[in-house]
Every structure is written in C-alpha cells, then in structure tokens.
Amino acid sequence: MSQSIQEVQNEIIEEFSMLDGDMEMTIGYVMELGETLEPLEEEQKTDDNIVKGCQSKVWLDAKPNGDKIHFKADSNTAITKGLVSILVRILSDRTPQEIVDADLFFIDKVGLNRFIGTQRSNGLGAMIKQMKIYGLAYTAKAN
Amino acid sequence: MSDTSVVSNTLDIEAIRSQFPILHQKVNGKQLVYLDNAATNQKPQSVINALEHHYAADNANIHRGIHTLAERSTTAFEDTRKAVQAFINSNEVEEIIFTKGTTESINLVASSWGRKYLNEGDEIIVSGLEHHSNIVPWQLIAEEKGARVRAIPVLDNGDLDIAEFSNMLSNKTKLVAVNHASNSLGTINPVHEIIKMSHEAGAKVLIDGAQASSHLTIDVQALDADFYALSAHKMYGPTGVGILYGKRSLLEKMPPYQGGGEMIKDVSFDKTTFNDIPYKFEAGTPNIADVVAFKAAIDFINDLGKENIAAYEEELLSYATAQLNEIEGVRIIGQAQNKVSVISFVVDGIHHFDLGMWMDAKGVAVRTGHHCTQPLMDRFSIEGTTRASFSVYNTIAEIDIFVEALKDIIKKLKP
Ligand SMILES: Cc1ncc(COP(=O)(O)O)c(C=O)c1O
C-alpha cells in the first residue's frame, strides 16, 4: 500500500527539517530533487501543456492510469523543476478525488511559501491549480 | 581593491550608508547587499523623517484651506515643485506637474497631447531600449488614432542606431519618445542629438528620465526637451510620486487629463473652465506627503553633488564590469561607451531565475527577468538577464561579495 498524501507530506517536512532553514541548503536540496523527476518527453512540452508563470515555465501533462491520474512535468529552471518534482511526488498516481481534496500543508511547514507564494514569477501556484483542475475534470468524467 | 577607501572620491561612503537604515539588516542570515537600485533605490533617514514630520505636524489638504496647517502643507508641497524646477532647470515652476510616477507622466502626454495632436497616418518613434511604460501608452493612443509606433533599432553593443533613426524621421513623425538611460542595459542615449534631429523634422520629444534622474545632470532647457518624465522612488525618494515637465507653450494648449477638484476654475452644468497649469493636470488631492518628502531626496542628491555621485558610481560600474568580464561563461549584455551604473548579464547554462534566487539566499538582491523591456530581450534573443545596479551607498566590498557569490553559484550549478 503506497503512502497517503498526508504521509508523503510529512516525509517531505522531515527531509527539509534537516536543512535547519538554511536558504542556500534548501535551494540546493530543491534542485537535487528536480534531478529525480521523471522526464517529460520533449514533444509533451507544448504550449497547451504550459502553466503560465512569468520567469520560469512549467509544463504539466496528465494521463489516466487506471482510476488514478499520472502527472509528468518539467520546468526550464532548476529551482522550479525541484518544486515541481515535490508536487508530482505528492499528487501523482492519486485518484481525482484525492487530488481535488488535497490540503498541501507542507508548503508552509517547510518554508517553501517563499517560492510558491511568488506565483507570478514561477508559475507554481498556477501548477497546483492546474493539477486540481485535472482532478476535477477527471472526477466529472467519472461521474 | 576590496576597501571602499581605495576609491578616489570625495564622498564618505560609510557616512552615507549610515543614513540608510534599511541597509543594515540580514536577509536569509546574511548581510544584505542591495543591488536592485534601478528598480527602486533606498531612502535616507531624511526622507523618512520628512514623511513622518508631514503626518505628525503639518498634514492638511493643500491649496484650498485657509488655516495654518493647510498653509504649511501647501508651502511644503510647492517647495518641492521649486526644488524639482531647479533640479531639472526648467524655465518656470508651473512647467512641473506632479504625477504618481514616470508611467503616469507618459500616459498623461499620450492621452492629452496625443488625443489632440495625433492623426491617422502619423508616426510615433520610440526606441528598442524602452521600458514597457514608454511603449504601451503610445500603442494605445496610436491604435485609437490610426497612427503607427516605430522603434529605433538597438546596435549589438546596446547603443541606439542613430543613423537609422535619422532615416526614420519624416514629416509623418509627430513625436519621439526615448529614455535618457536604459533600465535594462544602462545605455545613456544621446538625447541632446535626438531632440535636435527630431525638432528639425518637426516632431516633439518626450524623454523618459526614470533611470537618469539619480545619476545624470538634467537640464531640460539645454536639452530643449518638450516633455521630461521621472519618478521620485528611483532617486532616493518616496514611491507614488513623479513629475512631468512640459514646455508651457505645449501644456497650455493640451486638454486636461483627468477631471475633478483642483483642476478647475469654475464649474457649472453649462460650462466648466479649467485652472491654469500645472493645476489643470493635477485633479484631486495629490500624494501630498510623498511629494513633500520628495524634496528631502532632492536635497540629499544636491548635498552630495550629482557629479560626485556619478563619478563614484562610474568607479563601481567599471570595477564590477572588469570583475564580471573575468568570469568564464558570463556575458554582459550592453557594452555601450556611456552607461549609468547598471550591469546586465547572462550566464551560459544557468537560468537567471535560479541565479537570482540563489543570490537572494546569499543576501544579495539583484533583479532577474526581462525588466519590463521584452522587445529588447527579443532583440538579443534572450529571455531575460540578471541585473545588478548601483547607487551611491554601494561599495566595492559589496561588489566583491556579489562577484564571489556569482562564482560560487556558477560552480554549483554549472551543468
Ligand atoms: C526607463 C524606465 N522608464 C519608466 C519606468 C517606469 O517608472 P515607474 O514605474 O516609476 O512609473 C521605469 C521603471 O522601472 C524605467 O526604468
């Protein structure tokens, strides 16, 4: 049985707590996480898949996988890619309902609101919204 | 050369720094190094005091009251106008209109002058170096009037192509709107020459002085500028205040920009007559406190002396330029002969967003992105740059911190 959304977030909070709130280490770690992201094929990096941000681009692709949604994503900046990988780790391969209901409490807890709060510049807030919209769309389809 | 005392200058930089409370803080656990001065620079204690004093002692609405506070407020407000007049050497104090900034000043001219004088087929020439605020207002009015906006090309070194500008000028050209200095590249434009050429073609000229105001000596009469715009917040002053200078002969013929109190002489439902300049263009209660505090910023600059500031900033710029040129993979965008203290660069294989975020983690505040000059970024086939820009309170030691930070980040992020 895989971990719940709640459990994955607790695990992430735990990982970040080891960085002691050091901003450089946090950024370094976020970038490392980006390296682990399942690659998104170049042909999936279409304008349709772009989540609008100002300084960095995020591509998000969603595919049904049984009764769940599988997300793949990428970004043109290393920090955003790392943040994207965290969101994918939490929300990919969940049911649409789980995605719609997800309360992303880890953001405040690990001090990432600094990055995610500046939605305009990195498109991450928009990415969360887009993931939820996919969740809603699939829920609607299922009904 | 890591000591500010090495700089051959008459200014006591440490004494100047002590006047800026904001500089003395840590961000992300590191001493703040503020190098985002082209976006807005910091405020000396005298400006903060003036703002506080206004609200604590003098606040009242201006021009209309007869009581003592109204008198004090009005006097302080009009004293700033006089200080601006002297600062840019306009012929008359009435030629100075208070706005909320450069953006509003440009929009005022586009709406008022543009609406009256532009016709179908006319041309407005801007430049490839312009901030969006000196492009979009012209596009809006041009669309309304069937006029056309054209842009002077930018050369590889960041200078404007003046030869091409000369070819573009014709009897269709009604207005030329260019910046005195570029916020993205730092290029100082030959505005005197541009104005002369434009006038010979029969066009009026608006100069966007947002980036010039704290670095360059401005003399609107010597330039023969028709309009000149600037923002207080880029010259150690408060946000929300700027000015539009316009020649009296032009301002008097222009229709009001907004309607309301202050800008009228008499109002009736049959006929309303308008106030004289500058009040005709200052509808409503203005940003009194910030206008009042703006004078303290002008005094700050005058006390140090523009030439001294410019000479010192030039040393900072050339030191930083030399340092960046030594780092492999760093490419400075904009290498014009004459620059204000702005240095824009890209680093091979590293996105400016990652660079800027990591700089911030090291306490260094720089700007990243397109700097509201997307056409210029397109011209250089880049998405954006990282930009460091200096004010008089910055030091060689801070540039060293910035350069070391940059080297360290490149080492960490280089693919
Ligand atoms: C060259 C230039 N023009 C215009 C502006 C707009 O100034 P403001 O935002 O103060 O209206 C700026 C500010 O960034 C600028 O650098």
* Enzyme catalytic residues of A: 54
Residue B394: name the closest of B111, B20, B117, B47 by CA: B20
ipTM: 0.88
Same domain, B321 and B298: no
Same domain, B283 and B356: no
Question: Tell me, what's the pLDDT at B1?
Answer: 41
Pocket flag, ligand 1, residue B183 (CB < 6 Å): yes
Cα B362 to its chain centre, rounded Å, is 28
Cα B258 to Cα A123, B244, B281, distances in angstroms: 37, 15, 7
CATH number at residue B401: 3.90.1150.10
Query: Number of Cβ pairs closer than 8 Å across A and B?
Result: 39
Could A27 and B357 be called an inter-chain contact, meaning their C-beta atoms sit closer than 8 Å? yes
Q: Is residue B2 part of a domain?
A: no
CB burial readout B131-157, b (16+ within 10 A) else e:
bebbbbbbbebbeebebbbbbbebeee
CATH number at residue B139: 3.40.640.10
Q: Which of A13-17, A124-128, B172-176 has the lowest mean pLDDT?
A: A124-128
Q: Is residue B3 part of a domain?
A: no
Rounded to an integer, the average pLDDT of A91-106 is: 93
Same domain, B340 and B354: yes
Q: Tell me which of B245, B273, B302 is where a domain ends.
A: B302
HSE-CB for A56 with a 13 A CA cutoff: 31
Same domain, B109 and B253: yes
How many angstroms is it from B179 CA to the middle of ligand 1? Answer: 10
How many angstroms is it from B133 CA to the middle of ligand 1? Answer: 7
Question: Tell me, what's the pLDDT at B90?
Answer: 98
Q: Is residue B197 part of a domain?
A: yes
Confidence of residue A141 (pLDDT cuts 50, 70, 90): confident
- pLDDT over threshold 70, residue A54: no
Cβ neighbourhood burial of B48 (10 Å; 0-12, 13-18, 19+): middle
Q: What is the pLDDT of residues A21-38, one digit of tens each?
A: 888 999 999 999 999 999
Set of chain B residues whose Cβ sits within 8 Å of the Cβ of A76? 351
What is the Cα–Cα distance from B67 to B25, expressed in whole angstroms? 42
Rounded to an integer, the average pLDDT of A74-90 is: 92
Q: Which domain covers residue B352, as residue numbers?
A: 13-43+305-413
Domains in chain B, number: 2
Pocket-testing residue among B37, B131, B135, B179, ligand 1, by greatest number of atoms within 8 A of Cβ: B131
- For residue B278, whether the previous peptide bond is cis, meaning omega lies within 30 degrees of 0, is yes
Same domain, B190 and B287: yes
CB B173 within 8 A of CB B203: yes
Same domain, B259 and B325: no
Rounded to an integer, the average pLDDT of A35-48 is: 89
What is the Cα–Cα distance from B220 to B173, expressed in whole angstroms? 21
Q: What is the mean pLDDT of chain A?
A: 87
Same domain, B294 and B152: yes
Could A56 and B351 be called an inter-chain contact, meaning their C-beta atoms sit closer than 8 Å? yes
CB B242 within 8 A of CB B229: yes
Q: Is residue B121 part of a domain?
A: yes
Question: Tell me, what's the pLDDT at A48?
Answer: 85
Cβ neighbourhood burial of B400 (10 Å; 0-12, 13-18, 19+): middle
Strand-pair category, B367-369 with B26-27: unpaired
Q: Is residue B4 part of a domain?
A: no
Same domain, B407 and B327: yes
CB burial readout B232-267, b (16+ within 10 A) else e:
bbbbbbbebbbbbbbbeebbeebebbeeeebbbeee
What is the Cα–Cα distance from B326 to B345, expressed in whole angstroms? 13
Question: Tell me, what's the pLDDT at A118?
Answer: 55
CATH topology for the A5-142 domain: Sufe protein. Chain: A (3.90.1010)
Q: Tell me which of B302, B318, B342 is where a domain ends.
A: B302
Q: Which atom of ligand 1 is nearest to the CA of B104?
A: 11
| Minimum CA–CA partner of A35 in chain B | B415
- Provide the whole-model pTM: 0.93
Ordered mean pLDDT values, 10 residues apiece, chain B (415 residues): 51 97 96 98 98 97 91 96 98 98 98 97 98 97 98 98 98 98 98 98 98 96 98 98 98 92 84 90 95 98 96 97 97 97 96 94 95 93 96 98 97 84
Same domain, B316 and B223: no
Same domain, B162 and B256: yes
Same domain, B297 and B311: no
What DSSP letter does each residue of B256-284 carry, written as one string?
PSS-SSSSEEE--SS--EEPPTTGGG--S
- For A70, the token pair is 């599988």
Same domain, B34 and B75: no
Pocket flag, ligand 1, residue B389 (CB < 6 Å): no
